[in-house]
Amino acid sequence: MLVDLGEMIHVIERRRFEGDVRRHFFGVVEGVSDQAVRLSGYLFVFVPGSSSFSKSKERRTRIIPLVSSGVILNVAPADTVLEEVKYVETNGRLSVTDGGVFSLDINEFSSFR
């Protein structure tokens, strides 16, 4: 398996249309098969008016298909603190971080919008 139990995964759901909601998910792998991964963690939704991502208050469990071109998976370090993960903007660049060992630049090819 490419994904193991206990790994921390950051998921970006690709938008199919311009008006689609921008959703990301960050969680820990609870189960995995050839077709999907079960994650427990937090949903992040982009709020256009504030140009920021809002984190769900409660922890959720989601099943993410591994065979879909509609998702991008990023593996975070094992010692990432799940509860501390948040989105921050610095100098017009958007990153997701736990404020410690994990930081991922979301704007690899463009500036923050």
* pLDDT tens track for 75-108: 999 999 999 999 988 887 888 999 999 999 887 5
What's the rounded Cα separation, in Å, for the pair 97 and 79? 12
Q: Which residue has the higher pLDDT, 61 or 72?
A: 61
How many residues are listed for the chain in this entry?
Answer: 113
Q: Please check the confidence at residue 109 and state whether its pLDDT lies above 50.
A: no
Q: Which pLDDT value is given to residue 113?
A: 45
Provide the 3-class DSSP secondary structure of residue 101: coil
Share of the chain above pLDDT 90, in %: 53
What's the rounded Cα separation, in Å, for the pair 75 and 41? 14
Q: Please check the confidence at residue 15 and state whether its pLDDT lies above 80.
A: no
What's the rounded Cα separation, in Å, for the pair 105 and 107? 6
The phi-psi region of residue 44 (left if phi > 0; otherwise alpha if psi is between -120 and 50; otherwise beta) is beta
Mean pLDDT of 8-12: 93
Which residues are registered as beta bridge partners of 63?
38
Q: Please check the confidence at residue 57 and state whether its pLDDT lies above 80.
A: yes
